Structure 1
Amino acid sequence: MICLQELMSSFLVFILCVSHCHGGCAEVDSMTEAVAGESFLLGCISCKRREEVPAHATVDWHFKPTGEDEYVHIFHYDHPHLEILNEHFFDRLEWQGTMGTQDVQTGAVFIHNVTFNDTGTYRCTFQRTLSLPKDNEYITVEKEVELIVVAEANREMLSVVSEIMMYVLIVVLQLWMFVVLIYCYRKIWAEHEARDARKALKAQKKALLNEPLHLKDKCDGVLME
């Protein structure tokens, strides 16, 4: 069974793709719990407030391990080029942000093969240049993600309750179908017996109507005597 974290990561990727494809933008917070040995999506979205204005944006990711005071520059994206800048993340970071345009609004990255050393604070920085008629406007947006790495995914209460309700619903539906089958069987059997009874009654009436006349005369003679 797919764990809740994988479902939520897939759902977040779906939201990012839908937002990009349809020209809309929704700022969704990143998840904060990763499972060691698996992949994790670091989400970061900065929506451009004026869609009609052309823009160019770069995305930088910095990482501060738990217990450290300084951030380390680990990733830079400037369409169409990307750079992994820290050896701890070599071959483990994959761009999952806006594709095919320099007007970047989604700066998400995948961390593959997560380790416990990846626990810490991640800072996502957007440097956006808006191309206005009179003069360019420069905007900087920063967002942070506090990441915790665990050995196994913690199932949230909502997930547990949903699964229990699913099994209860399955059992209830099966019982309901069983009751419906019994009801239909009894109804069909009653109709069958009623049809047989009607056939027997018709046969009896037909036999009486077709009774030979000489039998009736003998009966009449006995009654006359």
Structure 2
Amino acid sequence: LLLASVLLISASPALSTSPCHGGCAEVDSMTEAVAGQGFLLGCISCKKREEVPARTTVDWHFKPLQEDKFRHIFHYNHPTADILHEDFAERLRWQGTLNTDVQVGAVYIHNVTFNDSGTYRCTFHRTLFLPVADMWVVVEKEVELTVVSAANRELVSVVSEILMYVLIVVLQLWLIVVLVYCYRKIWDEHEAREEKKAQKAQEASVVF
């Protein structure tokens, strides 16, 4: 969720701001995908100085398990997004910044398969337009993706669910205790009233 929020903020030209304003944060990508579902490959490279104009292109390469070489699978040069490998044809969609000054280079994989397991490398080729001379910067990041048949539940989720059930049980027990206490209190008050009535009746019979 955090990554998705950052991507949504940073992907919009109108909302993209400098790191000091919290508009860009280099959050790591998730690394586990479920076969048959979609998966967001995250890759973020924030500029240190937002006021410096820049133009950036992004390339994605993929190295399957048991292989030594990377395959060039995707290239983004705003506004053009090109899928460059047949294994990913019709399955990749650009989910990054929608202008020339790219800081979020995420791509979305549709219909993930077990063959998609491996190492993904995203590369930012950034040209900074400085007053004196242009500067070229290259940033590389890698994501080790594992494809599983079913999502593994996170420990936090499991603990939260256990605590929820424990809380429900405790509340039910507390409610039972409260009901028993209230019932006994009402019953004691009823017994006290009946005892007073009996005493008054006895005193009245003695008088007469």
TM (normalized to structure 1)?
0.74
- Cross-structure match for 2:164: 166
What pairs with 1:102-141 in structure 2 (closer than 5 Å)? 102-141=100-139
Q: Is the 8 A contact 2:45 2:103 kept in 1?
A: yes
State the alpha-carbon separation in 1 of the partners of residues 190 and 43 from structure 2. Answer: 69
Offset, 1:185: 5.6
Q: Report the more deviating stretch, 104-113 or 19-28.
A: 19-28
Offset, 1:19: 4.8
State the alpha-carbon separation in 1 of the partners of residues 128 and 185 from structure 2. Answer: 74
The letter of the residue matching 1:15 is V
Alignment RMSD, CA only? 2.9
Q: Is the 8 A contact 2:10 2:97 kept in 1?
A: no
State the alpha-carbon separation in 2 of the partners of residues 98 and 193 from structure 1. Answer: 77
Offset, 1:85: 0.8
3-state SS, counterpart of residue 157 of structure 2: helix
State the alpha-carbon separation in 2 of the partners of residues 188 and 172 from structure 1. Answer: 24
State the alpha-carbon separation in 1 of the partners of residues 184 and 172 from structure 2. Answer: 18
Larger Cα Rg: Structure 1 or Structure 2? 1
Aligned residues, how many?
Answer: 196
State the alpha-carbon separation in 1 of the partners of residues 104 and 72 from structure 2. Answer: 19
Offset, 1:28: 0.9
3-state SS, counterpart of residue 163 of structure 2: helix
- Hey, which bits of structure 1, 4+ residues long, moved more than 3 A? 18-22, 177-194
What pairs with 1:4-15 in structure 2 (closer than 5 Å)? 10-15=1-6
The letter of the residue matching 1:128 is R
What pairs with 1:214-225 in structure 2 (closer than 5 Å)? none
CA separation of 1:133 and 1:156: change in aligned 2, threshold 3 A: same
Offset, 1:124: 0.2
Offset, 1:178: 3.6
CA separation of 1:191 and 1:116: change in aligned 2, threshold 3 A: same
TM (normalized to structure 2)?
0.80
State the alpha-carbon separation in 1 of the partners of residues 118 and 29 from structure 2. Answer: 14
Offset, 1:31: 1.5
- Cross-structure match for 2:20: none
Offset, 1:186: 5.5
CA separation of 1:102 and 1:189: change in aligned 2, threshold 3 A: farther
CA separation of 1:169 and 1:19: change in aligned 2, threshold 3 A: farther
1:61-95 deviation line (CA, Å, top 9, x unaligned): 00111122211111111122111111110111111
- Cross-structure match for 2:28: 29
State the alpha-carbon separation in 2 of the partners of residues 149 and 96 from structure 1. Answer: 20
Q: Percentage identity across aligned positions?
A: 68
Structure 2 gaps of 5+ residues are 18-22
Structure 1 gaps of 5+ residues are 1-9, 209-218, 220-225
Q: Report the more deviating stretch, 51-60 or 154-163.
A: 154-163
